[in-house]
C-alpha cells in the first residue's frame, strides 16, 4: 500500500544516513554534528543537476557523491586535527556554515524558496517513477551501503578505526597516521550521506535548506546513538524506530497546543535516559 511504501522509503533513506554516521561516530568515536550538511550537498547537487541541466538521476547521484566527498575532504582536513569536544564543535560550525551558504546563495540554490519539480529517476527510458520502483531502488541502495559498511568494519582499516576510538594516542605510537584514517572515514561517511540526499530529493521532488539544518544533524546522531553505536543493524533499527514512533504518536491525542513541546520533551528525555542507563543504545556494542 502506498502509505507503507512511503514509510519504507523514508526509513531506507534514514537508514543510509544512520549507517554513514555510524562509521564516524560508532566505529571511530568522533561525534560529528554535520552529517546533515553532506545529506544536503547530495540533495542539492542532484536537484540542480536534474532540474537545471537535465542530467540523468544516476549521473546526478554520482555528481553529488563526488562533490560531497570533496567537501568532506576539505572540512575533514580541518576537523581531523581535533578530537573529542573540539571535533564536535568544529563539525557543528561547518553544518551552520554550509546551511548558511545554501540559504544565502539565492541565485544558485533558490534560497529559502527551495527547488521544486525534481523528477523521479529514469534509466534508458524506463521510468522508475512509481513509489514501488523507487522503493526497490532505495532498498538496493541500503543493501549496497550496508555491505560496504560491513566490509569496512571487518577489514584492517576498520580495526584501526576502532583503535582510534579506544585510544588514539596509543595507536599513534605504533606509527599509524590517525589523521589520514579519520579523514578517510569522514569522507566515506559523507559520500554515503550524499546518496541519501539524492534519494530524498528525487522522492519528495522538492527540497529547501530548512530540511538540512542543525536539528537534522542532531536527529541523525540520535538514530545512531539510540539505535546502537558500532552496530550496523542498530543504525537501521534506530532509523525505523525514530521514523515510526512519531507516526504512531500521531494517533495518540496530545492536545494540539502542546503536542510539539510534549514530543520534544519525550525525545529529549529519551536521550538523557538512554545516556544514563543504556549508553550503548538498543543493540550497540560500543558503550560510550
Which residues 52-91 are close enough to bind another protein by CB under 8 A? 78, 81-82, 84-86, 88-90
Residues 162-191 within binding reach of another protein (CB under 8 A): none
Helix (H, G, I), strand (E, B) or coil at 24: helix
Among 167, 177, 268, 278, binds another protein (CB under 8 A): 268
Residues 95-124 within binding reach of another protein (CB under 8 A): 96-97, 100-101, 103-104, 106, 111-114, 116-117
Query: In the bound complex, what is the minimum distance in angstroms from residue 254's beta carbon to another protein?
Result: 8
Our finding on whether 221 is near another protein (CB under 8 A) is yes
- Going from the C-alpha of 108 to that of each of 101, 187, 194, 248, the distances in angstroms are 10, 24, 19, 38
Give yes or no for a contact between 135 and 12, defined as CB atoms under 8 angstroms apart. Answer: yes
Q: Which residue, 129 or 155, has its beta carbon nearer to another protein?
A: 129
Q: Which residue, 4 or 123, has its beta carbon nearer to another protein?
A: 4
Residues 188-207 within binding reach of another protein (CB under 8 A): 204-206
Q: How far apart are CA 224 and CA 17, in angstroms?
A: 9
Q: Which three cell numbers stand for residue 102?
A: 545554501
Our finding on whether 261 is near another protein (CB under 8 A) is yes
Q: How far apart are CA 164 and CA 262, in angstroms?
A: 39
Our finding on whether 233 is near another protein (CB under 8 A) is yes
> SS in 3 state form for 163-207?
HHHHCHHHHHHCCCCHHHHHHHHHHHHHHHHHHHHHHHHHHHCCE
Q: Which three cell numbers stand for residue 210?
A: 530548512
Site map 135..154 versus another protein, x via CB under 8 A: --------------------
Among 22, 80, 109, 211, binds another protein (CB under 8 A): 211
Among 108, 132, 144, 260, binds another protein (CB under 8 A): 260
Query: In the bound complex, what is the minimum distance in angstroms from residue 181's beta carbon to another protein?
Result: 18
Q: Which residue, 20 or 109, has its beta carbon nearer to another protein?
A: 109
Q: How far apart are CA 112 and CA 114, in angstroms?
A: 5
Question: Pairing relation of β-strands 122-123 and 126-127?
Answer: antiparallel
Query: In the bound complex, what is the minimum distance in angstroms from residue 261's beta carbon to another protein?
Result: 4
Cα dihedral 277→270→92→180 (10° resolution): 40
Q: How far apart are CA 223 and CA 288, in angstroms?
A: 15
With contacts defined by CB under 8 A, name the span among 35-43, 139-147, 168-176, 232-240 that binds another protein.
232-240
Amino acid at each position: 500500500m502506498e502509505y507503507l511504501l512511503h514509510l519504507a522509503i523514508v526509513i531506507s533513506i534514514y537508514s543510509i544516513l544512520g549507517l554513514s554516521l555510524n562509521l564516524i561516530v560508532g566505529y571511530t568515536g568522533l561525534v560529528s554534528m554535520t552529517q546533515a550538511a553532506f545529506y544536503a550537498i547530495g540533495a542539492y547537487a542532484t536537484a540542480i543537476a536534474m532540474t537545471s541541466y537535465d542530467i540523468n538521476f544516476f549521473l546526478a547521484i554520482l555528481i553529488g557523491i563526488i562533490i560531497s566527498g570533496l567537501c568532506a575532504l576539505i572540512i575533514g582536513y580541518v576537523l581531523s586535527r581535533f578530537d573529542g569536544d573540539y571535533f564536535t564543535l568544529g563539525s557543528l560550525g561547518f553544518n551552520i556554515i554550509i546551511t548558511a551558504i545554501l540559504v544565502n546563495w539565492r541565485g544558485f540554490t533558490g534560497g529559502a524558496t527551495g527547488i521544486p519539480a525534481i523528477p523521479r529517476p529514469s534509466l534508458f527510458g524506463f521510468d522508475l517513477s512509481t513509489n514501488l520502483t523507487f522503493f526497490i531502488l532505495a532498498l538496493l541502495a541500503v543493501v549496497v551501503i550496508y555491505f560496504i559498511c560491513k566490509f569496512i568494519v571487518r577489514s584492517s582499516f576498520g580495526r584501526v578505526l576502532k583503535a582510534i576510538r579506544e585510544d588514539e594516542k596509543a595507536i599513534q605510537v605504533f606509527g599509524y597516521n590517525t589523521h589520514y584514517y579519520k579523514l578517510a572515514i569522514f569522507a566515506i561517511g559523507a559520500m554515503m550521506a550524499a546518496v541519501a540526499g539524492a534519494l530524498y530529493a528525487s522522492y519528495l521532488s522538492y527540497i529547501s535548506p530548512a530540511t538540512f539544518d542543525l536539528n537534522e544533524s542532531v536527529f541523525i546522531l540520535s538514530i545512531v546513538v539510540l539505535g546502537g553505536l558500532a552496530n550496523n543493524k542498530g543504525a537501521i533499527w534506530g532509523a525505523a524506530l525514530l521514523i515510526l514512533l512519531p507516526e504512531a504518536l500521531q494517533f495518540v491525542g496530545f492536545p494540539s497546543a502542546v503536542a510539539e513541546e510534549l514530543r520534544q520533551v519525550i525525545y529529549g528525555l529519551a536521550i538523557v535516559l538512554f545516556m544514563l542507563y543504556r549508553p550503548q543504545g538498543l543493540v550497540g556494542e560500543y558503550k560510550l
